[in-house]
Amino acid sequence: MQQTERLYYSDSFLKTFAAEVTGVRELAGNTGDTVWQISLNHSAFYPTSGGQPFDTGVLRTPDGAETPIEEVEEDEQGAVWHFARTPLAAGAHVEGQIDWQRRFDHMQQHTGQHLLSAVFARELKAGTVSFHLGEKISTIDLTCANLPEHSLERVEQIANEIIAEDRPVTTKYVSAEEAQALLAAGDLRKLPERAGSIRLVDIADCDLNACGGTHVRSTGQIGGLQIRGVEKVSRGVRVEFLCGFRAIRAARANAAILDETGALLSTGAPELPATVARLLAEGKAGAKERQKLREELAVFHAEKLVAEAPLAGGIRVIVREFKDRDRDSVRLLASRTAAAAVSTAVILCANDADPVRVFLARSRDLNFDCGRMLREALAQLGLRGGGSPDMAQGDVPRAMSSTFLDSLSASVRNAAVDKSK
């Protein structure tokens, strides 16, 4: 298979082109359907490479039929394969049309990455070790331990000043020997491991870098650069950024969120941090107060349950089912009831969902192990659960809960009788 001439090397702004189909092969898709790979003698479609995703678009035959291109890859022989759901005949003449919105977005992000990496290297001596152009956000990984906020602001400011200067972005080819000399002199940021001529992308008075990707013609076409966030990664620091129309869309979305949040809280955007801080503080205070009330209610209810359940055979077994309480409340009640009186075993069921949740608790003077007892009872039904000697829990299908509670109650009483002997 012959190599494909890459038209985007000489003109990243080429939107349509004429070509001939040089090869077609069938490939099984991920969902069992058929995908066809089509190669052309030359193509303006960019294949996935160097952190930049593939182009999409259509191939159009002379009769007007269109074949959508969903993915583009290159093989080791230099052929570019265009993935489609329908085949084209070898030798057919086609017109290719690039999805220009996607292409230009990639050009903005990729050229913005060159610029951002160059400024990080120059200002902070932080080299870029990887680049990823995602669907929504792009990232670079830098070789540095941390990035203070003031350093990020300075780098972002310098990058946008260079964008505003509208410096030319050009490409040229040099021999491997020339590229090595440029690298040794410090004029070239990095060099790929390949033979033959090297394609260099030059941002005037800013960056010279070996790259086979698509780029805008001047920094002004990057349209602005916004650093969105930073996180630690294994090799250093990962910086998230947006360029051009992506940055505009993100800013608009953020503004809409601020407006909506401000309307909900009846405050303006500048006052939102203080308002949210106040609400969080009030929420924490309210949560503490609610927990205090839950505790007091559980103690009160526990005393009532104990009073209603007399001792029988030296043990008080309390069995109750609750349909209108959440499981945390039922668990708290089980714990407080077991602590309210000696010789007391508590079996409570939270029947707010299916499966129901069963809690088993005991006063400290009783000797059986709640965790073991509940685990063994559930195992007989093929279920799992357990806990500590004082408190255990497990889930049971609602249809089996009544029978299970009776069986567990009998096991508790039997354990009390056995311990008394």
Q: Can you tell me whether residue 130 is helix, strand or coil? A: strand
How far apart, in Å, do the first and last CA atoms of the chain sit?
Answer: 90
pTM score: 0.75
**pLDDT confidence of residue 183:** 85
Q: Can you tell me whether residue 166 is helix, strand or coil? A: coil
Q: On the CB side of 263, how many CA atoms lie within 13 Å of its CA? A: 6
Both structure tokens of 336:
């407080």
Q: What percent of the chain has pLDDT over 90?
A: 83
**pLDDT confidence of residue 185:** 87
In contact, 241 and 116? CB cutoff 8 Å? yes
**pLDDT confidence of residue 189:** 80
Asked if pLDDT for residue 195 goes beyond 80, the answer is no
Closest by CA position to 399, among listed 357, 368, 354, 349: 354
Q: Determine the average pLDDT of the residues in 298-303.
A: 93
**Cβ neighbours of residue 325 closer than 8 Å, sequence gap 6 or more:** 333, 350, 352
Q: On the CB side of 20, how many CA atoms lie within 13 Å of its CA? A: 6
Asked if pLDDT for residue 391 goes beyond 60, the answer is yes
Confidence grade of residue 2 (pLDDT, cut at 50, 70, 90):
confident
In contact, 263 and 255? CB cutoff 8 Å? no
Confidence grade of residue 234 (pLDDT, cut at 50, 70, 90):
confident
Per-residue pLDDT tens digits for 210-229: 999 999 999 999 999 999 99
**Cβ neighbours of residue 277 closer than 8 Å, sequence gap 6 or more:** none
For CATH 3.10.310.40, the residue range(s) in the chain are 298-420
Q: What percent of the chain has pLDDT over 70?
A: 97
**pLDDT confidence of residue 78:** 84
In contact, 243 and 222? CB cutoff 8 Å? yes
Scan for tokens 């203080």, then name that residue.
Answer: 274
Closest by CA position to 169, among listed 122, 225, 213: 213
In contact, 69 and 86? CB cutoff 8 Å? no
Q: Determine the average pLDDT of the residues in 371-396.
A: 93
* Segment among 134-148, 174-188, 319-333 with least mean pLDDT: 174-188
For CATH 2.40.30.130, the residue range(s) in the chain are 5-98
DSSP code of residue 315: B
**pLDDT confidence of residue 421:** 44
- Find the radius of gyration of the CA atoms of the chain: 35
DSSP element (H, E) containing 340:
helix 327-340
Task: Give the span between the Cα atoms of 407 and 316, in whole angstroms.
Answer: 16
For CATH 3.30.980.10, the residue range(s) in the chain are 103-256
Confidence grade of residue 31 (pLDDT, cut at 50, 70, 90):
low
* Helix residue ranges, H only, 51-148: 100-124
In contact, 22 and 68? CB cutoff 8 Å? no
- Output 28 or 35, whichever has higher pLDDT: 35
Per-residue pLDDT tens digits for 114-173: 999 999 999 999 999 999 999 999 999 999 988 999 999 999 999 999 999 999 999 999
Domain 5-98 top-level CATH class = mainly beta
Q: What share of the chain is helix, strand, coil (3-state, %, to 5)?
A: 40, 30, 30
User: Which class for 283: exposed (0-12), middle (13-18), buried (19 or more C-beta within 10 A)?
Assistant: exposed
Asked if pLDDT for residue 14 goes beyond 80, the answer is yes
Asked if pLDDT for residue 321 goes beyond 60, the answer is yes
DSSP element (H, E) containing 283:
helix 272-308
Assess if CATH 3.30.980.10 describes domain 103-256.
yes
Q: Chain-wide mean pLDDT for the chain? A: 92
Asked if pLDDT for residue 278 goes beyond 50, the answer is yes
Task: Give the span between the Cα atoms of 91 and 95, in whole angstroms.
Answer: 13
In contact, 345 and 316? CB cutoff 8 Å? yes
Phi, psi of 246 (to 5 degrees): -65, -45
* Helix residue ranges, H only, 125-269: 149-164, 176-184, 244-265
CATH topology of domain 298-420: Diaminopimelate Epimerase; Chain A, domain 1 (3.10.310)
**pLDDT confidence of residue 418:** 62
**pLDDT confidence of residue 244:** 96
Angstrom distances, CA of residue 404 to CA of 165, 231, 259, 395: 77, 51, 54, 11
Per-residue pLDDT tens digits for 63-111: 999 999 999 999 988 889 999 999 999 999 999 999 999 999 999 999 9
Say whether the peptide bond before residue 355 is cis (omega within 30 degrees of 0): yes
In contact, 222 and 112? CB cutoff 8 Å? yes
Task: Give the span between the Cα atoms of 140 and 110, in whole angstroms.
Answer: 11
